[in-house]
Amino acid sequence: MDASTEAVRELYELFPYPSGSPTVRLGFDARYLLSLVNLERPAGRPLRVLDAGCSRGVGTLAMAVLQPDVQVLGIDLNRVALEEARAEAAKRGLTNIEFAEVDLSNLDGLEVPDGGFDVIICSGVLHHLVDPTAGLRRLQQVLAPHGVLSLMVYSKTGRREILEVSRAIDTLVDKSLPIPGQLDQARRMVAEIAADPEAGEIWREASSLDDVEFVDRYLHIQERVYDVPELFQLIEDGGLGFLRWADPTTWRLNPGAVGEVVAGQVMGLGDREFAHLVDNLGQGPATMEAYLCQTGNSLREAPSAAQLGDTVFATHPEARFVSKIRNTWCETRTEALGVELRTGDLALLSPGPLRSLVGILATQNQPFFGRDLLGILQEEGHAPDVCEATFFEALQREWLYCPHPVELG
């Protein structure tokens, strides 16, 4: 292990990241991720997920809880965090999860299943390696031919204010001190600046962070950030292909910030060029999260109108259905129904075919044929063309998806 990697391990063993309890994160569902690609996984073996850089297992544990038939392996160098994760898994009685001490920079000692991992999660880790490209290439080597890799790295543009604060701290703090001493100095400095009414909001936010978050954000000893072209170069050098952004809604232009001419010109841009534009306009996210695949694989196309009836669908696992129900005398009234997808805003729906469809999806925990859903909508009095258009709108909004046949048993 090189000196930089050892120093990163020591930092995280002092301040295990993140703080907090197990939480659901983007792309936690293996079947949904695999539905995005053309190649189908072989039948007859369990789904296997690798969380590369799991730390305390905050997201890893949630994946195992929500997918009890999926085998989950979390790897990290942080021995303190791994012990925490193992203890939490034992407390919850989880039998489909394991944790191992493995260095992401070389993957020495990693037990790779035959055919590779179906899904690999690498969230907020690669940018802390001495050589992120080499780390990504090693993950590519253990990803199955049909597999999907979810990658998150820091954005150079989206973290601009954080980087400014970090550089100021780096200039004023005595770097010869151990991390706890640097933390004490930095805390006092940030608190003084944040107390100034003229200070920016970023300083007040920094002052409010707990120690774990503060160290990770402002005192990290090995970190790099990426712009959009650099991210795509990293993906290419890592031997992988770009599938799509994990949450495309994070790459939307603010209509008030661009004119009609610009808005019209961007319509024909691809994912890469559009994201680069959004980033350059300062509207990009603080982190860039993308789904990747092997170069021999590609993004799966949505079913056509002629295929809707015979295609099997499932409710998107990252969709949460919200209903507002009023109980009056001898009557229960559903006054509003809406959907939250990922971390997006709640979309409350007015009465109509789309709300009817969402009402059906909210009760579906099993896959279903498109013709069954279309039939229910038509029974409610909606015209066939309206039902079809409604179905495609739900697909476009990602409230449902198409699992591969192998996932149906």
What share of the chain in percent tops pLDDT 90? 72
CA-CA distance, 42 to 94, in Å (whole number)? Answer: 25
Confidence of residue 280 (pLDDT cuts 50, 70, 90): confident
Task: List pLDDT tens digits, range 221-241.
Answer: 999 999 999 999 999 999 999
Note the pLDDT of residue 68. 94
Q: Which residue carries 């809707």 as its tokens?
A: 308
The angle subtended at Cα 333 by Cα 327 and Cα 339, nearest 5°, is: 115
Task: List pLDDT tens digits, range 380-406.
Answer: 999 999 999 999 999 999 999 999 999
Confidence of residue 269 (pLDDT cuts 50, 70, 90): confident
Nearest to 139 by CA among 114, 98, 106: 106
Cβ(313)–Cβ(373) below 8 Å:
yes
pLDDT score of 193 more than 80 = yes
Note the pLDDT of residue 283. 84
Note the pLDDT of residue 261. 60
Strands 97-101 and 117-123: unpaired
Note the pLDDT of residue 325. 84
Strands 287-294 and 368-369: unpaired
Nearest to 172 by CA among 192, 157, 154: 192
Task: Find the helix or strand (DSSP H, E) in which 207 lies.
Answer: helix 201-208
Confidence of residue 94 (pLDDT cuts 50, 70, 90): very high
Q: Which residues contact 260 (CB under 8 A, 6 or more apart)?
A: none
Fold type of domain 3-157+225-294: Rossmann fold (3.40.50)
Mean pLDDT, rounded, of the chain: 91
Confidence of residue 260 (pLDDT cuts 50, 70, 90): low
CA-CA distance, 279 to 266, in Å (whole number)? Answer: 13
CA-CA distance, 273 to 280, in Å (whole number)? Answer: 11
Domain residue spans in the chain?
Answer: 3-157+225-294, 160-218, 305-408
Note the pLDDT of residue 263. 63
- Residue 342 backbone class (left: φ over 0; alpha: ψ -120 to 50; beta: rest): left
Higher pLDDT, 180 or 267: 180
Note the pLDDT of residue 99. 98
- DSSP state string for 137-204: HHHHHTEEEEEEEEEEEEBTTTTHHHHHHHHHHHHHS-TTS-HHHHHHHHHHHHHHHHTSTTS-HHHH
CA-CA distance, 105 to 123, in Å (whole number)? Answer: 15
Average pLDDT over residues 302-316: 94
Note the pLDDT of residue 258. 60
pLDDT score of 22 more than 90 = no
Cβ(402)–Cβ(319) below 8 Å:
no
Q: Which residues contact 51 (CB under 8 A, 6 or more apart)?
A: 57, 59, 60, 63, 72, 73, 74, 75, 120, 121
Task: List pLDDT tens digits, range 358-371.
Answer: 989 988 899 999 99
Could you count the other beta carbons within 10 Å of the beta carbon of residue 276?
A: 20
Average pLDDT over residues 66-93: 95
Note the pLDDT of residue 88. 94
Average pLDDT over residues 75-104: 96
Note the pLDDT of residue 135. 96
Whether pTM > 0.85 for this model: the answer is yes
Confidence of residue 257 (pLDDT cuts 50, 70, 90): low
pLDDT score of 262 more than 80 = no
Note the pLDDT of residue 255. 61
Confidence of residue 156 (pLDDT cuts 50, 70, 90): very high
Note the pLDDT of residue 3. 86
- DSSP state string for 80-96: HHHHHHHHHHHHTT--S
